[in-house]
Amino acid sequence: MPRVKRHDVDPLIEEFGVQAVLDAVTPLLAESRVQTLEAGLDRKLSSLTVVLENLYDPHNGAAAVRSSEAFGLCDLHTVDGETGTFSVAPDVSVGAHKWIDLHTHKSAEECASALRAQGFVLCATVPGAPMELEDIPVDKPLAIWFGNERDGLSNEAQALCDHRVSIAMYGFSQSFNLSVSVAMFVHRLAAKRRAVLGADGDLSASRREHLRARWRALGIRGLRDVLERSVS
């Protein structure tokens, strides 16, 4: 019987309910596994996110996903536009995509509207911008936008953002690889955001419960059968 995969879990949580899923799967897990997952929930950061616009190389996208998840981000947004649907190269993400929610948008405007509705300040990464990484305010939820490998961030996306920011460079190279830039920004901004929060994570109670159920259910063989037996 195959193990349940990420995209199969959420529909079952919606069907059976968070508590029913937890009641059914928790007894099947080793206590050390439960403790590891709980520690991961404690460190998840929902008030910092990354937006990737029109990427061409799925390896760069997967590396950005991996870096974002490694620093504890909950979400990553993509604007697909002309390049088609964003996809993650699994050999590069090394499973990181299981632990971070990916949100796809058809346009920069759609993405910006969704983020603003959640209270995010939008910050565009633009080479040569006068604001530098250390100057970015982190007192509010923050979304950092990155453009594609060839053209950078579109003019439309830049116009939608509240700030433009760059990384100071001192060598002859004028840019970093996209995934390197993402890692540099997320590493520093996650640390600053956590310092402002005074905590490693900031999940709401409802999201924490949903992720708890999802994470504990991941990998359970025959999850539907397990749930049906538990509630019968």
The span from the CA of 113 to the CA of 9, in Å, is 28
Identify whether residues 185 and 208 lie together within a single domain: no
Identify whether residues 74 and 139 lie together within a single domain: yes
Query: Could you tell me which of 207, 217, 186 has the C-alpha nearest to residue 51?
Result: 186
Residue 5's SS3 state is: coil
Identify whether residues 23 and 37 lie together within a single domain: yes
- At residue 171, the pLDDT reads 83
Task: Specify burial of residue 44 (Cβ count, 10 A radius: 0-12, 13-18, 19+).
Answer: buried
Identify whether residues 140 and 31 lie together within a single domain: no
Identify whether residues 100 and 29 lie together within a single domain: no
**Residue 69 domain flag:** yes
- At residue 149, the pLDDT reads 76
Number of domains in the chain: 2
**Residue 1 domain flag:** no
Domain coverage including residue 226: 6-42+204-231
What's 155's domain CATH number?
Answer: 3.40.1280.10
pLDDT per position in the chain (232 positions), as tens? 555 666 789 999 999 999 999 999 999 999 999 999 999 999 999 999 999 998 877 788 889 999 999 999 999 999 986 655 666 555 444 478 889 999 999 999 999 999 999 999 999 999 889 899 999 999 999 999 999 878 889 999 999 999 999 988 888 777 788 889 999 999 999 999 999 999 999 999 999 999 999 999 998 999 999 999 998 8
Identify whether residues 23 and 83 lie together within a single domain: no
- At residue 80, the pLDDT reads 86
- At residue 219, the pLDDT reads 80
- At residue 177, the pLDDT reads 84
Identify whether residues 125 and 146 lie together within a single domain: yes
Residue 15's SS3 state is: helix
